[in-house]
Amino acid sequence: MSTPVTPKAPRILVLGGGYVGLYTALRLQSKLRAGEATVTVVEPRSYMTYQPFLPEASAGSLSPRHVVVPLRRVLKKCEIINARVVALDHTARTARLDPIDGPEYDLAYDIVVVALGSVARTLPIPGLADEGVGFKTIEEAIYLRNQILNCLDVAESTDDLARRRRALTFCFVGGGYAGVEALAELEDLARDATKYYKKITPEDLRFVLVEASDRILPEVGPDMGEYTLLQLSERNIDIRLKTRLESCTNGVVTLSDGTTFESDTIVWTAGVKANPALTNFAGLPTDERGKVRCDATLQVTGVEGAWGAGDNAAVPDLANPGKETGPSAQHAVRQAKRLADNIVATLRGGEVKEYRHKYVGSVASLGLHKGVAQVYGIKLKGWPAWFMHRTYHLSRVPTLNRKLRVVTDWTLALFFKREIVSLGSISMPFHEFEAAAGVNTSTGALSTHEAARR
């Protein structure tokens, strides 16, 4: 496909429509004058995901549609391209895009913002790629909700004790906030759901958390991490510290402490790494972890017309000399605003400013009415921490429309019981029709229709 003609106004190409991408584009569209620049956002999904709400979406406290922000609705003055950037040549100022349909093509730009975030840091553990699932996207959050409820259905409907035990065993690997919040919320959901099953009690559920270091939830500090450990242990969650997953081929989990068990559900949340697409970016320096190197102004170090922020950028932390800003939504949102202001300043020949923010701490939800927090040095646990988690994230979720939808979900949840329907078959929508048409779909394999569409 031929290269589209560069518009007269400079094109600001924002790669990624997550926290940094969305907030940068929002700021640019509100600050730029008409015709001053074109803002183009490249993102494979048509929405930004508010990741801190994924555990609640998974547990059914929030509707999945309310934790994502439709890019075309909020970025009305920007051009949105649903594609993946696969390579970039900053000297030629072109990015190679792989659109959601059709062949790859090159897009010319004048200024680039690198906001591709991170991806799960996996290890070559036997069985992991086939049996594991991450917890970074809304699709994974919905899948896990369906999977856990489906496992309860399986356990209730079989007399095979080994099959039942395997279905009721859920293994989470990685004790940072993504893993701990996901496990805590889903355990809460599963325990709550057992009320509706005749043959399953909460004691039948086995949730295992595997963590290689000697603590969990480092984000909230050592004593709050200790409290979380206690809280989860009291809920019968089997926590294995200083333990690694060694293999999980065919769902047979083997841990480094010698323990072996079978599980249908293996969730991998053991860290993230910079987006691997950056390895194909020519002309932008990266550090040893593959992150794009940036100055405190968020300009890519020594490179004109290139900016970076968020999980895929190595940015000096001026509030903690010698360190870099950590991968968090807190930094991503603030960096995006500074970065956008600096781009506007550059376009107008003004002064750029450095990014400085002292990390205020973290809040984590551990299920309905349970939480842990350390913010501005204040430590909270239980209901107050959970309440702070909700109010903090409500204040942060983008757009008034989303805030109102989230509050409505929470309010409804006060009056109605949690929804416990598993819609696992939603991922195989053609089976019913194909069975009616005489196609053999009994094996559980992908139907021809589904295989063709993937």
Ligand X SMILES: Cc1cc2nc3c(=O)[nH]c(=O)nc-3n(C[C@H](O)[C@H](O)[C@H](O)COP(=O)(O)OP(=O)(O)OC[C@H]3O[C@@H](n4cnc5c(N)ncnc54)[C@H](O)[C@@H]3O)c2cc1C
Residues making contact with ligand X (CB under 6 A): 15-21, 42-45, 51-52, 54, 84-85, 115-117, 135-136, 177-178, 275, 277, 310-312, 327-330, 332
Helix (H, G, I), strand (E, B) or coil at 344: helix
How many other CB atoms sit within 10 Å of the CB of residue 60?
A: 22
Rounded Cα distance, 343 and 299, in Å: 9
Helix (H, G, I), strand (E, B) or coil at 355: coil
Residues contacting 302, CB < 8 A, separation 6+: 285
Closest distance of CB 261 from ligand X, Å:
25
Closest distance of CB 441 from ligand X, Å:
32
Closest distance of CB 394 from ligand X, Å:
12
Closest distance of CB 359 from ligand X, Å:
9
Six token digits for residue 187 = 């355990």
Closest distance of CB 444 from ligand X, Å:
29
Burial profile 404-441: b = 16 or more Cβ within 10 angstroms, e = fewer:
ebbeebeeebeeeeeebebebeeebebbeebeeeeeeb
Closest distance of CB 158 from ligand X, Å:
32
Closer residue to ligand X in complex, CB, 146/441 = 146
Q: Which 8-state DSSP code applies to residue 105?
A: E
Q: How many CA atoms lie within 13 A of 224 on its CB side?
A: 27
Secondary structure in 3-state letters for 201-224: CHHHCEEEEECCCCCCCHHHCHHH
Helix (H, G, I), strand (E, B) or coil at 299: strand
Residues contacting 30, CB < 8 A, separation 6+: none
Closer residue to ligand X in complex, CB, 98/156 = 98
Closer residue to ligand X in complex, CB, 208/277 = 277
Closer residue to ligand X in complex, CB, 127/179 = 179
Closest distance of CB 327 from ligand X, Å:
5
Are the C-beta atoms of 150 and 424 separated by less than 8 Å? yes
Closest distance of CB 262 from ligand X, Å:
26
Residues contacting 286, CB < 8 A, separation 6+: 274, 278, 279, 292, 293
Closest distance of CB 20 from ligand X, Å:
4
Rounded Cα distance, 225 and 142, in Å: 27
Closer residue to ligand X in complex, CB, 167/309 = 309
Six token digits for residue 124 = 């070559």
Closer residue to ligand X in complex, CB, 115/152 = 115
The dihedral formed by the CA atoms of 286, 272, 329 and 301, expressed in degrees to the nearest 10: 0
Closer residue to ligand X in complex, CB, 20/380 = 20
Closest distance of CB 83 from ligand X, Å:
7
Are the C-beta atoms of 365 and 389 separated by less than 8 Å? yes
Cα–Cα distance list, 183 to 51, 135, 367 (Å): 15, 10, 9
Closer residue to ligand X in complex, CB, 84/191 = 84
Closest distance of CB 210 from ligand X, Å:
17
- Residue carrying structure tokens 């895009």: 97
Closer residue to ligand X in complex, CB, 9/81 = 81
Q: Read out DSSP for 34-81?
A: TTT-EEEEE-SSSEEE-GGGHHHHHHTSS-GGGGEEEHHHH-TTSEEE
Residue nearest to ligand X (CB): 18
Closest distance of CB 424 from ligand X, Å:
21
Closer residue to ligand X in complex, CB, 52/316 = 52
Q: Sign of the CA dihedral 341, 345, 346, 347? A: positive
Closer residue to ligand X in complex, CB, 197/359 = 359
Closer residue to ligand X in complex, CB, 116/168 = 116
